[in-house]
Copies of this chain bind each other. A is one copy, B any other.
């Protein structure tokens, strides 16, 4: 497993995402890695990240799925191009759509594990499925459709 996450390879100017930007000091700074043919990330919610006391807030779960989905998409695209993250041109995805099923309440107080599977790579679009587990039990499943960042977004930086 690469000791650096895909987010560690994002260019500085694209590393301020609240969910996964290593330079956003207010954000979650999640980090996504390959783990065999799947991708993996971990996050431990704060005590105030609750929906009701004892259970993790669904909006946070959506955020984690979103960012691990775009990270998974970037990892998959480098692999599809048979080159390493960090080589040029840099690949950065944004989310086109996201669908999440909350299967059971997610308990607070434990580390969450996100696992990603690449379903389809089609041109600049990648579809991935992301699960969120607590205590080895899947609490939520998401499907993320991500697209490589359009030129007109990065021009605004």
Interface residue ranges, A against B (CB under 8 Å): 13-14, 16-19, 24-27, 46, 48-55, 57-60, 62-64, 66-67, 94-102, 105, 149, 153-154, 156-157
Contacts and interface: CB of A to CB of B under 8 A. Distances in A.
Given A102-B95, A102-B97, A18 B53 contact: no
A95 B58 contact: yes
Contacts of A153: 52, 55, 105
B98 A62 contact: yes
- Integer count of this chain's copies in the complex: 2
Given A19-B57, A59-B67, A62-B62, A154 B52 contact: yes
Contact of A16 (B52, B59, B62, B101): B52
A100 B143 CA distance: 11
